[in-house]
Each structure stands twice: as C-alpha cells, then as structure tokens.
Structure 1
Amino acid sequence: MHLPPLDVAVYPVVTMSHGRHGSRTNRSLSTISSSSSSSAASMRGCAVAAPDFLSIQRLIQRVFRSSRITVQQAERLQGHHHQVYLARLADGSALVIKCPPNQTTRSLRHEKWGLETERKTLETLHEYTQLPVPQVLKYDGHGGSFGSPYLLKSYIPGRRLSEISPTLSTSERNGIDRTLGAYVRTLTSLNATQFGLTHRVFDKKGSNSWQEAFLALLESALRDAEDMLITMPYESIRGWVNGRSKCLDEVTEPKLVALNVCDPRNVIINEQTKQVSGLVGFSNVIWGDPLLSGGIPDGSDAFFQGFGECPLGTGGHVRQLIYAIYRAVVQIVAHHYRPHSGIDELQARRSLTYALNSLARI
C-alpha cells in the first residue's frame, strides 16, 4: 500500500471521486461509505469548509495552468494534526494537499506555523541538498479561491518504516539506519543566522543565543500544559533546567534541527529495495543544537556510522538530559490535547522523571 509523504496515521479513508463520496477498501484501512450529506455533517466544526473534489481539481489545474489535468480520485486522510488530501491524477501521478487542522483539533503553540515551516524547510532542502524530500508545488498562506491555507506537494511512493520494520532483516535495518544517519548529518550541516522557530528565523525575529531560544521553546510547552491544567512538576522542570542552562551557550551556530525526521512514520521505504526512498514530516523544524535532532537520542551504532560521529562533546550529556525533559513535556501535553494520537503518556512521564533525577545529580 502506498502512503502519502506526510505524518499520516492509518485511519479510515473517505474517497471523493468526481464530486461523489464513496467507499474504498485498502490493506490495513477500514472501509467506510458516506453520502455527501453525511460527509458534510462530519466536517462541521472545521475552521474552514473542507474542499470537495471539484475544488481540488480546480486548484491543481490552476497551479499547473492546464485544464487538461484530470483528477481521478481525491482521498481525505485523517492525519495526526493537519487535514491531508491525496489526489491521484489520470496520468498515474499523485499529489498531496495539506490544510490547517479542524477547529476542534487543539494546537500546541509551536504547531501553529506548521504549514509555513514545512514549506520553508522543504524549499531550503531542495535548494541546498539532494535529500529525497517532497517538492513544494504551491503554497498559499491565505488560501485564495481554495478557501483555506494550503500546501501542495509532490508525492513519494513507498511504505512507512513503521509498517515495514517487522519484516526487515538485521542487515536491511542497519543499512536504513546508516542512510538516516547520513541524512541527519546533511540536515544539521545547514546554518542560519539566528536560533529558534523556523518562521521567526526566516523573518529575522529569532534569538541571538541558543539558551534564550530553547528556554522559550520549553516555556511555550509548559504554558500549553498549564492551559490544560495538566499535572506536572513545573517548579522542578523550570528550576533544574534554568539552573543547568548555561551549557546551552556552548552551541554557537544555529543548525537545522528536524525533530521528527527519523520517526518511523516519516521515513518512506522502497518495498523492493528496502532502502530509504523519502523523508517527510518537516512541520516541526527549528534552528539550534543538532543534539536535539530526531534520530540522535536513540540512534543505533549503524546510525552514528552514517552520521560520522557520536556528537556529544563538552557538555553534551547535560544538554541531552535537558532535551529529554523538553521532548517528554511535549509528548505529555500533546497526549492531553489529542488523546488519540498514539502517544504513551506513562512512558513519557517515566522519561521526564528519569531526566529530571539525572539532571539533579549532576
């Protein structure tokens, strides 16, 4: 089963074919059928009206400036956060449309610029690297006649690593890990002039120090938790991290940090060659310390062979503990905002407690 290059979970699919809602059976996908009226009812409460088949076809024809392009099928895929559509064209190709989340889906503070972050990151990667990432075909932050902000991207065929992993041999998995290590090395070799969230850095509103930028990220997540009245050791988190934050000033160059880059759901594998064919999931990208990058906290020996080194260095252990606290806080908060996201809150709380206790002993 081919999947779109997005952070998309396996959920029921609503197929929109030539303006009419139908049902489709897919491996590991539940089959549902829906009339136009029931589909419209399910979309009530969205920030904007969900696009229908004709809207998607008009959008693609307008982007490519051709009325001859025919969309044969448009599927709405229930994603982790955004609304995602996979459009299959008559010539056999496919495109992905990503829209803002439903109004009923709560966003964390750092997630509110996800579309813009993904667009700027993918454009940067296409300009400065040869990494296999989707190509941005069109971005409209206001939506225009489509009625919603959207990101139109190319499609990378393959299967997610999370699906195919149980069938891989040790040799095949080591090869994938080495490739991922090399790709993360390429990502973290890119520099910026400021630290912080991507949309702020590109607008020249970032921070001049990594300590300032990171503490702002952590505080943002803690305030998300406080907004939901989540039970968490706030005083200990703020106290121990602030007390050890001097080591963050060792990071003097802002590097591209893709926090979800090695998430098995974001790694696309060629089913025949068992090699990495694409990387997706670039809506959570900041400029800062490479140690915070996805893949590094739990990287295998093969991963670090591909990366070229184990990037700890002076103060690296303390920074890793601080970053473990941040990741655990974000996971706990995301679980409470979106309880069905598949996050193991108990494990996140264990990780938070371990990192806090370890930091306190230093």
Structure 2
Amino acid sequence: MSGPSPTQRVLSAADLADYVRASFGPDRGVAACGPLAGGGFAAVWWVRLDDGREVVVKVAPPPTVPLLRYEQGLTAAEARYFRLVATHAPRVPVPPVLHHGVDPVLGEWLVTGRLPGRSLSDLAASGGDGDRARYDFGTALAEVHRVTGDRFGYDDGRTGGSTWAEAFTAMIEELLADGVDWGVPVPAQRIRSVVRRHRRLLDQVRRPALVHFDGWDGNVLAEPAGGGSYRMCGLVDGERYLFGDPMVDLVSPLLLRRAEDEPDHPFLHGYAAAADDPPVFDANLRRRLGLYRMHLYLLMTVEMPSRGMTADSHPDRRVGLARLLDEELTALSHD
C-alpha cells in the first residue's frame, strides 16, 4: 500500500491544536481529531473543537515541495471558490469558510465547517443507492454555472485569457511544461495539433462560467433521504476551479467514461433539468468533451511523480491513462 503523497504534510494531533489556536484564538482547544482520506494533494483532518463544533482543517504542502504550475495558490483558491458559491449560488451546499491562514511556521491552511454525509465513492463501495444524490449534484452544478467570471481560466493572476481558446491552450501548455520538468513522456506534438485543430470550436464558448472541475464521486457528499435513497448534502474540494466552458464539468462526474455514451445517467438528467442551456450531444459538444477529457488525462499523467507515483509503482494507472489519452487524441484528429 502506498504512503501519503509528497505534497501532504505529516501532521499530529498536537499540530492540529496549533492550527486551531492560530485560527480561533489561544483559548480554543481540540476535543478530538483525525485524518480524512480521499485526497492526494493537501493534508486534511476533521476536528471537533472543545465548544462542540466540527470543522475541517486543510493544510497546504510545504513551500519547499515542488508542485505543478496550476497548483500554486490552491488553498487560497479553495476559500475563494466556497465564498463565490455561497454568495452567488447559495442553494448549493458548500462548507462555510471559517479561517484562511498563512504563517512562517505553520505554513498555509484553511478551516471550514464540516458538512454532514459521506462521499458518493464511499456510498458506492458499500452498495448504497446514490442515484438521487447524483441527480441533485447535476442540478447543483447547473446553478454554479450561472456564476460568471471576468475572464477565462484561473483567477487571481494565474493562467487565463480573454477567450476560452486562449485560456485552454495556455492551460495545456502549462501541463506540457510540467511534463518536461518532471520527465513525464507525453505526446506533446499530437496534443498541440489537436488543440490547434479545434481552436475555432473553443472560441464558440463566449461566457466564462464558474467550473468546479473536480466533481468526481469523492467530492460529493450525500446523506440518507428515506426509503434507502440518498440526497446530496455537500460539494467539497473546490480548489481547482476555473472559469470556462461549463461542459468541462461533465467530465469528472463520469470519470474515465464518456458522458455522451450515458445520456440516462442521473447526474446528466439533473443537470439537463436545471441548466439554462441543457447539453445536446451533437458533434460539436462531443469534440469539446473529448478535448476536456484529453486535458484531464494529461493532468492525471503529469501529476504522477509529484504525488510519488511512478510507472513501476502504479503501472495500471500509467498504462490506462496512456490508452485513454490516445483514444481521445485519435478521435479528435479524425473528426
């Protein structure tokens, strides 16, 4: 079994007490705490404060740990995402931001309220029925997508552009540069060719919608709704958000699959029921989804060494991603 990612700080209960005091004052204490599993970037712990509140403390990687280019400033970005959603899409359940701190000794961290429920990945592993929660997630993302940014791409001076094609191309180029830095072999020439080929298609996206980007099952929380079903009760890990084509968010909820091949998926039904512009899986949308899957598979490949994963330690992941990336590139090169 592999250990924690090199990006994750190794913390103790005493460390969590330090973060709590730095966030809430010297008189605030910890009644109980423990690590939360599921992510591979930051260290995440649940904490029960001595006043009975339960919070989540997310601690950023140490500043000496090398990261991918787009991962710079993710902790602050997550705080911004939750505040954006709470302000502009208040019906979507995201954790309340309680504190964002930066300290020379403690580093950077974020404290949020702890939402109820369990992740859809945990629910699926136990055989639970998550269809209603997936439908709810679709309706929630449709509401998030009504939020509009000032430009395309990442915010706060990070990679972006005045058009979606410009921003998407820059995001791809950053990942290709990361691949060079980390010695990860990827078909860079094929990727650049496909992006150039479909630039006009990307230029059809005119509005920079707020995109969560990372809506896989582990980041969607659900709680019992009676009769054996579950309803969505939380959306977490918003740190990788960007402004762009809302259809980007149709990729991660059907991770390693194709949304256009599963039109009856409950997530897609929920999204279509609530979206201002429901998706129509015509040739143009299929190409856009192919581009966004290509981007995700490239990201998942390039990030492997930064997470301590090698081709030897994770051969199935590397081979599987290479196959999926090749399939998308082949399709996008011939349509």
Shorter-chain TM-score tier:
0.7 to 0.9
TM superposition shift of 1:118: 0.6
Q: 1:318 aligned to 287, 290, 297, which one? A: 287
1:168-212 deviations in Å (ceiling 9; x for gaps): 45xx332122111101111111111211103237xxx84211110
Q: Flag the 1:280–1:248 CA change in 2: closer, same or farther, 3 A.
A: same
TM superposition shift of 1:318: 1.8
Q: Which moved more, 1:191-200 or 1:351-360?
A: 191-200
TM superposition shift of 1:315: 2.3
Whether the 8 Å CA contact 1:116–1:199 is kept in 2: the answer is no
The letter of the residue matching 1:253 is R
Q: What does 1:109-128 align with in structure 2 at a 5 Å threshold?
A: 109-128=69-88
Match of 1:162? 121
Q: Flag the 1:161–1:59 CA change in 2: closer, same or farther, 3 A.
A: same
Q: 2:253 aligned to 295, 312, 318, which one? A: 295
Determine the C-alpha separation between the residues in 2 that align with 1:252 and 1:177. 28
Q: 1:98 aligned to 39, 44, 58, which one? A: 58
Q: What does 1:205-216 align with in structure 2 at a 5 Å threshold?
A: 206-216=160-170
TM superposition shift of 1:267: 1.2
Determine the C-alpha separation between the residues in 2 that align with 1:188 and 1:252. 13
Q: What does 1:261-340 align with in structure 2 at a 5 Å threshold?
A: 261=215, 263-271=216-224, 273=226, 274-293=230-249, 294-295=252-253, 297-298=258-259, 301=264, 302-308=266-272, 309-312=278-281, 315-340=284-309
TM-score in terms of structure 2 length: 0.82
Structure whose CA Rg is larger: 1
Determine the C-alpha separation between the residues in 2 that align with 1:251 and 1:120. 24
SS in 1 for 2:303: helix
Match of 1:152? 111
TM superposition shift of 1:312: 4.2
The letter of the residue matching 1:324 is R
Match of 1:191? 148
Whether the 8 Å CA contact 1:15–1:76 is kept in 2: the answer is no
Whether the 8 Å CA contact 1:177–1:300 is kept in 2: the answer is no
Determine the C-alpha separation between the residues in 2 that align with 1:71 and 1:292. 39
Whether the 8 Å CA contact 1:109–1:220 is kept in 2: the answer is yes
Query: Over aligned residue pairs, what C-alpha RMSD do you find?
Result: 2.7
Determine the C-alpha separation between the residues in 1 that align with 2:329 and 2:126. 37
TM superposition shift of 1:77: 4.8
Match of 1:348? 321
Q: Flag the 1:173–1:95 CA change in 2: closer, same or farther, 3 A.
A: closer
Match of 2:275? none
Whether the 8 Å CA contact 2:75–2:110 is kept in 1: the answer is yes
Determine the C-alpha separation between the residues in 1 that align with 2:130 and 2:47. 31
Is 2:40 aligned against 1:80?
yes
Determine the C-alpha separation between the residues in 1 that align with 2:154 and 2:195. 20
Determine the C-alpha separation between the residues in 1 that align with 2:236 and 2:51. 24
The letter of the residue matching 1:251 is V
Is 2:197 aligned against 1:238?
no
Deviant stretches of 4+, over 6 Å? none
Q: Flag the 1:194–1:105 CA change in 2: closer, same or farther, 3 A.
A: same
TM superposition shift of 1:216: 0.3
TM superposition shift of 1:222: 0.8
The letter of the residue matching 1:176 is A
1:13-43 deviations in Å (ceiling 9; x for gaps): 9752xx4xxxxxxxxxxxxxxxxxxxxxxxx
Is 2:32 aligned against 1:59?
no
TM superposition shift of 1:123: 0.4
TM superposition shift of 1:99: 1.9
Is 2:319 aligned against 1:357?
no
1:129-164 deviations in Å (ceiling 9; x for gaps): 121110111123x337x6322211111122211111
The letter of the residue matching 2:154 is L
Match of 2:100? 139
Q: Which moved more, 1:211-220 or 1:108-117?
A: 108-117
Whether the 8 Å CA contact 1:182–1:307 is kept in 2: the answer is yes
TM-score in terms of structure 1 length: 0.76
The letter of the residue matching 2:319 is L
The letter of the residue matching 1:351 is L
The letter of the residue matching 2:155 is T
